[in-house]
């Protein structure tokens, strides 16, 4: 007798467990998907501003960086990721000055601790959020930060564009404003470089030279677009995603209106908030 009752007891437990499992499956079926669609959404995805991908020198509108070759970043770096080649030159006033020759940076050993950026007295460094840095050999992770083709490396004395040191513990809003300002400056500098290269392209007669200049122009345009993307036409894939999210949102809002249990309501509200954020991120 007891074995029959145990049989029915375990059968009941099994059915309850099955129903619970199906409840979870059912709720997941209608939950909006938040999976990233990289690389398909590469053109529309917005990478977080503060994401640290690789170290860069900041250039001003005249194509000059603010590095004064003081060596602080090299000294504070815990990994020996930075090494500087420094030369001595004579200033227009006849004084001997240190000047940056090559800024070597090994992305492969960088821990993205930001110490170099924080400690630079002239705010010459920043981290870009250009995360696509994968290469096939470690050697290619070794970068020279001051050899970009679209920069006028020796356009002038770095001191001329140097600014006072930023307070390391700047408030979040100050940091955001600085980031916006730096981005605007970068866009300006790139636009100037673009205009110069377009003029050079118009004047060039040699085909090989033209191809080279055109490649630089394309890269510069891509860099400008990445920094200041034009208002975008929503592409069909994004439009579909938005539509699906809006449908899911409507379903969840209906479920919220019908719900009576407070915990359930909070759960649905959290999903609604996430869905709205996802829709906003897609630009709708």
Note the residues at the interface with ligand SF4 (CB under 6 A). Answer: 55, 67-73, 76-79, 81-82, 84, 110-116, 120-122, 124-125
CA angle, corner 225, sides to 171 and 283, nearest 5?
A: 70
Would you say 71 or 283 has its CB closer to ligand SF4?
A: 71
Buried b (16+ CB within 10 A) or exposed e, 182-202: beeebbebbebbbebbeeebe
Would you say 78 or 232 has its CB closer to ligand SF4?
A: 78
Among 166, 181, 176, 235, which Cα is nearest to 48's?
Answer: 176
Would you say 117 or 278 has its CB closer to ligand SF4?
A: 117
Give CA–CA dist 31/77, Å, rounded: 45
The contacts of residue 144 (CB under 8 Å, 6+ apart) are 102, 103, 104, 105
DSSP code, position 37: -
Minimal distance, residue 160 CB to ligand SF4, in Å: 14
Q: How far is CA 95 from CA 92, 98, 163, in A?
A: 7, 10, 21
Other beta carbons within 10 angstroms of residue 26's beta carbon come to: 10
Would you say 186 or 197 has its CB closer to ligand SF4?
A: 186
Minimal distance, residue 170 CB to ligand SF4, in Å: 16
Strand-strand pairing, 142-144 and 82-90: unpaired
Minimal distance, residue 74 CB to ligand SF4, in Å: 6
Would you say 61 or 113 has its CB closer to ligand SF4?
A: 113
Would you say 68 or 249 has its CB closer to ligand SF4?
A: 68
Minimal distance, residue 143 CB to ligand SF4, in Å: 11
Would you say 166 or 200 has its CB closer to ligand SF4?
A: 166
Minimal distance, residue 17 CB to ligand SF4, in Å: 50
105, β-bridge pairs:
82, 143
Minimal distance, residue 164 CB to ligand SF4, in Å: 12
Residue entry with tokens 């208002």? 231
Would you say 45 or 112 has its CB closer to ligand SF4?
A: 112
* Distance between start and end Cα atoms, the chain: 65
Minimal distance, residue 145 CB to ligand SF4, in Å: 9
Minimal distance, residue 32 CB to ligand SF4, in Å: 36
Other beta carbons within 10 angstroms of residue 116's beta carbon come to: 22
Structure tokens at 272: 């609604």
């Amino acid at each position: 007798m007891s074995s029959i009752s145990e049989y029915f007891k375990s059968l009941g437990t099994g059915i309850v467990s099955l129903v619970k499992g199906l409840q979870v499956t059912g709720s997941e079926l209608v939950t909006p998907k938040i999976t990233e669609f990289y690389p398909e959404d590469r053109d529309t995805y917005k990478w977080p501003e503060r994401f640290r991908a690789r170290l860069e020198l900041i250039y001003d509108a005249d194509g000059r960086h603010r590095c004064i070759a003081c060596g602080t970043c090299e000294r504070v770096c815990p990994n020996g990721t930075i090494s500087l080649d420094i030369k001595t030159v004579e200033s227009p006033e006849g004084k001997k000055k240190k000047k940056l020759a090559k800024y070597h940076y090994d992305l492969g050993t960088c821990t993205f601790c930001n110490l170099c950026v924080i400690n630079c007295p002239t705010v010459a460094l920043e981290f870009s959020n250009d995360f696509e840095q994968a290469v096939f050999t470690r050697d290619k992770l070794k970068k020279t930060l001051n050899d970009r083709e679209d920069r006028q490396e020796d356009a002038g004395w770095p001191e001329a564009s140097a600014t006072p040191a930023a307070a390391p513990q700047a408030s979040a809003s100050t940091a955001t404003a600085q980031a916006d300002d730096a981005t605007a400056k970068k866009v300006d500098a790139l636009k100037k470089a673009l205009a110069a290269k377009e003029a050079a392209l118009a004047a060039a007669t040699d085909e090989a030279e033209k191809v080279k200049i055109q490649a630089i122009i394309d890269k510069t345009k891509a860099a400008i677009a990445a920094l200041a993307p034009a208002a975008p036409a929503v592409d069909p894939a994004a439009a579909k995603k938005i539509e699906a999210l809006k449908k899911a949102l409507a379903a969840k809002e209906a479920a919220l209106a019908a719900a009576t249990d407070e915990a359930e309501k909070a759960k649905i509200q959290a999903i609604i908030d996430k869905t709205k954020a996802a829709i906003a991120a897609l630009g709708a």
